[in-house]
Amino acid sequence: AQKITQTQPGMFVQEKEAVTLDCTYDTSDPSYGLFWYKQPSSGEMIFLIYQGSYDQQNATEGRYSLNFQKARKSANLVISASQLGDSAMYFCATPNGNNRLAFGKGNQVVVIP
Protein backbone atom coordinates (compact mmCIF):
# COMPACT_ATOMS: atom_id res chain seq x y z
CA ALA A 1 0.00 0.00 0.00
CA GLN A 2 1.12 3.51 -0.71
CA LYS A 3 2.20 5.66 2.19
CA ILE A 4 2.62 9.42 2.48
CA THR A 5 4.82 11.02 5.11
CA GLN A 6 4.62 14.66 6.15
CA THR A 7 6.53 15.26 9.35
CA GLN A 8 7.35 18.94 9.47
CA PRO A 9 6.11 20.82 12.52
CA GLY A 10 3.96 23.88 12.03
CA MET A 11 5.71 26.54 10.02
CA PHE A 12 5.67 30.30 10.24
CA VAL A 13 6.62 32.14 7.10
CA GLN A 14 6.99 35.83 6.46
CA GLU A 15 4.62 37.31 3.92
CA LYS A 16 6.20 37.45 0.44
CA GLU A 17 8.77 34.80 1.33
CA ALA A 18 8.82 31.31 -0.19
CA VAL A 19 8.08 28.17 1.81
CA THR A 20 8.81 24.53 1.05
CA LEU A 21 6.62 21.76 2.40
CA ASP A 22 8.10 18.28 2.56
CA CYS A 23 6.36 15.13 1.37
CA THR A 24 7.87 11.70 0.96
CA TYR A 25 6.03 8.72 -0.39
CA ASP A 26 6.41 5.00 -0.53
CA THR A 27 4.88 3.18 -3.46
CA SER A 28 5.51 0.02 -5.44
CA ASP A 29 3.50 1.17 -8.43
CA PRO A 30 5.54 1.87 -11.55
CA SER A 31 3.19 4.71 -12.46
CA TYR A 32 1.69 7.03 -9.90
CA GLY A 33 0.79 10.63 -9.26
CA LEU A 34 1.26 13.10 -6.44
CA PHE A 35 -1.36 15.60 -5.41
CA TRP A 36 -1.22 18.57 -3.08
CA TYR A 37 -4.34 19.96 -1.43
CA LYS A 38 -4.84 23.04 0.73
CA GLN A 39 -7.25 23.05 3.66
CA PRO A 40 -7.98 26.50 5.06
CA SER A 41 -9.82 26.99 8.33
CA SER A 42 -13.14 26.68 6.49
CA GLY A 43 -12.39 22.97 6.17
CA GLU A 44 -12.75 22.55 2.43
CA MET A 45 -9.99 20.68 0.65
CA ILE A 46 -8.75 22.65 -2.35
CA PHE A 47 -6.75 21.01 -5.11
CA LEU A 48 -3.50 22.85 -5.81
CA ILE A 49 -1.23 20.87 -8.07
CA TYR A 50 -0.57 17.42 -9.51
CA GLN A 51 2.40 15.64 -11.02
CA GLY A 52 2.56 12.23 -12.62
CA SER A 53 5.57 10.05 -12.08
CA TYR A 54 6.43 10.07 -15.79
CA ASP A 55 6.17 13.82 -16.21
CA GLN A 56 9.55 15.12 -17.27
CA GLN A 57 9.27 18.61 -15.87
CA ASN A 58 8.25 19.70 -12.40
CA ALA A 59 4.67 20.91 -12.33
CA THR A 60 3.89 24.56 -11.72
CA GLU A 61 0.56 26.27 -11.11
CA GLY A 62 0.90 29.97 -10.48
CA ARG A 63 2.77 30.41 -7.19
CA TYR A 64 2.79 26.67 -6.55
CA SER A 65 5.45 24.32 -7.84
CA LEU A 66 6.39 20.74 -7.17
CA ASN A 67 9.97 19.78 -6.48
CA PHE A 68 9.67 16.16 -7.56
CA GLN A 69 12.66 13.92 -6.89
CA LYS A 70 11.79 10.34 -7.81
CA ALA A 71 15.07 8.87 -6.61
CA ARG A 72 14.39 10.24 -3.14
CA LYS A 73 10.65 9.57 -3.39
CA SER A 74 10.08 13.16 -2.54
CA ALA A 75 7.44 15.57 -3.85
CA ASN A 76 7.88 18.86 -2.03
CA LEU A 77 5.51 21.76 -2.56
CA VAL A 78 7.03 25.20 -2.97
CA ILE A 79 4.83 28.24 -2.42
CA SER A 80 6.47 31.40 -3.67
CA ALA A 81 5.67 34.95 -2.57
CA SER A 82 3.53 33.82 0.37
CA GLN A 83 0.29 35.64 1.03
CA LEU A 84 -1.76 35.84 4.21
CA GLY A 85 -4.41 33.71 2.53
CA ASP A 86 -1.91 30.87 2.22
CA SER A 87 -2.26 30.17 5.93
CA ALA A 88 -3.73 26.68 5.98
CA MET A 89 -3.01 22.99 6.29
CA TYR A 90 -1.41 21.41 3.24
CA PHE A 91 -1.84 17.74 2.42
CA CYS A 92 0.13 15.56 0.05
CA ALA A 93 -1.67 12.57 -1.44
CA THR A 94 -1.16 9.70 -3.84
CA PRO A 95 -3.52 7.02 -5.17
CA ASN A 96 -3.53 4.02 -2.88
CA GLY A 97 -4.70 1.31 -5.22
CA ASN A 98 -8.28 1.09 -6.52
CA ASN A 99 -8.15 4.83 -7.22
CA ARG A 100 -8.32 5.87 -3.59
CA LEU A 101 -6.26 8.86 -2.56
CA ALA A 102 -4.13 8.28 0.52
CA PHE A 103 -3.28 11.48 2.39
CA GLY A 104 -0.45 12.46 4.67
CA LYS A 105 -1.06 14.06 8.05
CA GLY A 106 -0.51 17.52 6.64
CA ASN A 107 1.75 20.52 7.15
CA GLN A 108 0.49 23.60 9.00
CA VAL A 109 1.56 26.93 7.50
CA VAL A 110 0.98 30.31 9.09
CA VAL A 111 1.89 33.37 7.07
CA ILE A 112 2.76 36.39 9.16
CA PRO A 113 2.67 39.98 7.92
Partner 1 sequence: GAGVSQSPSNKVTEKGKDVELRCDPISGHTALYWYRQSLGQGLEFLIYFQGNSAPDKSGLPSDRFSAERTGGSVSTLTIQRTQQEDSAVYLCASGTGGAGELFFGEGSRLTVL
- The nearest distance, CB 97 to partner 1, in angstroms, is 10
Residue 28 interacts with partner 1 (CB under 8 A): yes or no: no
Is residue 70 helix, strand or coil? Answer: helix
What whole-number distance in Å separates Cα of residue 63 and Cα of residue 76?
A: 14
Say how far residue 104 (Cα) sits from the centre of its chain.
Answer: 9
Here's the x/- map for partner 1, 75-94, by CB under 8 A: it reads as: ----------------x-x-
Among 11, 13, 45, 78, binds partner 1 (CB under 8 A): 45
Residue 3 interacts with partner 1 (CB under 8 A): yes or no: no
CB atoms within 10 A of CB 62: 10
